[in-house]
Amino acid sequence: MTSQEQFWADVDSYLVRYGPRFTRAVISRAEGSYVYDDSDRAILDFTSGQMSAILGHSHPEIVATVRDQVAQLDHLFSGMLSPPVIELARRLARALPEPLRKVLLLTTGAEANEAAIRMAKLVTGKHEVVSFSRSWHGMTHAAVAATYSTGRRGYGPVAPGNIAIPAPYAYRPRFGGKVDWRAELDDAFDLVDAQSVGSLAACIVEPILSSGGVIDLPPGYLRALQDKCTERGMLLILDEAQTGLCRTGDWFAFQRDGVVPDFITLSKTLGAGLPLAAVVTSAEIEERAHELGYLFLTTHVSDPLPAAVGVTVMDVLTRDRMDAAVARQGTRLRDGLLELQSRHESVGDVRGRGLLQGIELVTDRATKRSSDELGAAVTNACLDLGLHMNIVQLPGMGGIFRIAPPLTVSDSELDLGLEILDAALSKVAG
């Protein structure tokens, strides 16, 4: 048995299968915008790992921070604090608009959403939570209850009081014809009011639904959604796990719309590939939660090692003016995708912001018929040619790619990725 065969035999023997099929490549190392398999073949990473390695893999400043910090102070009792934690909290507060000032540092996006929902329920004294029907907020108790894109069947009851509303999907309008997101939003909250028992606590949404198909909320939508929340005494939680920290060409995606949420949650991009997450809220909300005895104690809350990495991430993004760089690179990527759409009938739609772009593949542009098989075939063809692309691996959404290369990606790497995608589409879809 070869080493490759032994590896996959061990996978079959010892690993729990926890989602989509594993990519058939044995990854041995990574650097910059590339991962390398066990034959040292370079694979261009257009997903930034799990949408997280925004500074690329093995960034020298991240490597230095981890090396130095782990040798000095890695982990503490949850009631102890260290300088990196306070520095990162200060940096996040200064990067965000008033009144977002109070920071809780955690490990994962699900954990951050859990903490924000728990606090919202406590300070409002209510329990109902609204989220999009194509949402993904995590796999813990309250987060999974607010997740509707997949994974709900077979696990029994979730937290009571969760209500789904449709996202404004411009390529596939809910009422047909041109999307009328205001009418859709009004209709959605008529249904919310009909279902509510009078205990609406919060609404949690992503500014761009990622796992839901890279659906960018239209300009003005967040403002209107916030007004709906204010009318009902609800708190607005924005999940910016994938859109925060320059990914869209702004430091935070919500800034485009001129709104300020009651909570913002961060994860993925904050740790640049390491497990780090944050909840940021106002001093007023934090004070009320503290008065009521807010409890969210975890093993790795306020850990110094990941906090030090987060500080380095903020340093690099600020020094390199990464928001402006991403705005430029995002235009280059989008223009390249639109050019592919002009030549490939299988590319039905291009959407997104900055370096978070999506393309939706169809077998027929007139009917917009999608195909899980087509998406899988293009994914495999890209990998054979040296490009890792992420198809939304949820039932019925197998034709939607999420494209999220590292923010440090070069022009030549973007062009190479587009060339490989072009070749894969030509090979598979003709």
Reported as a single tens digit per residue, the pLDDT across 2-51 is 999 999 999 999 999 998 889 989 999 999 999 999 999 999 999 999 99
Mean pLDDT calculated for residue range 411-416? 98
User: What's the confidence (pLDDT) of residue 397?
Assistant: 61
pLDDT 10s digits, 253-272: 999 999 999 999 999 999 99
Q: Is the pTM of this model over 0.85?
A: yes
Contact 364, 346 (CB under 8 A): no
395 pLDDT above the threshold of 80: no
Range list for CATH 3.40.640.10 in the chain: 73-319
Quickly tell me which residue has 């509303």 as its tokens: 165
Q: How many CB atoms lie within 10 A of CB 210?
A: 26
User: What's the confidence (pLDDT) of residue 222?
Assistant: 98
Instruction: Please state, in angstroms and as integers, the Cα–Cα distance from residue 227 to each residue in 27, 223, 235, 283, 356, following that order.
Output: 47, 6, 10, 21, 27
User: What's the confidence (pLDDT) of residue 162?
Assistant: 98
* Topology given in CATH for the domain delimited by 3-58+322-429: Aspartate Aminotransferase, domain 1 (3.90.1150)
Token digits of residue 356? 């978070």
Quickly tell me which residue has 């108790």 as its tokens: 141
415 pLDDT above the threshold of 70: yes
User: What's the confidence (pLDDT) of residue 17?
Assistant: 95
Question: Distance between terminal CA atoms of the chain?
Answer: 38
Token digits of residue 411? 């022009």
Range list for CATH 3.90.1150.10 in the chain: 3-58+322-429
SS3 57: strand
Quickly tell me which residue has 């009851």 as its tokens: 157
User: What's the confidence (pLDDT) of residue 177?
Assistant: 77
393 pLDDT above the threshold of 70: no
pLDDT 10s digits, 70-83: 999 999 999 999 99
User: What's the confidence (pLDDT) of residue 104?
Assistant: 98
Domain 73-319 CATH class label? alpha beta
Q: Which helix (H) or strand (E) holds 131?
A: strand 128-132
Quickly tell me which residue has 């209500």 as its tokens: 163
SS3 310: helix
Q: Which residues are catalytic?
A: 136, 206, 239, 242, 268, 402
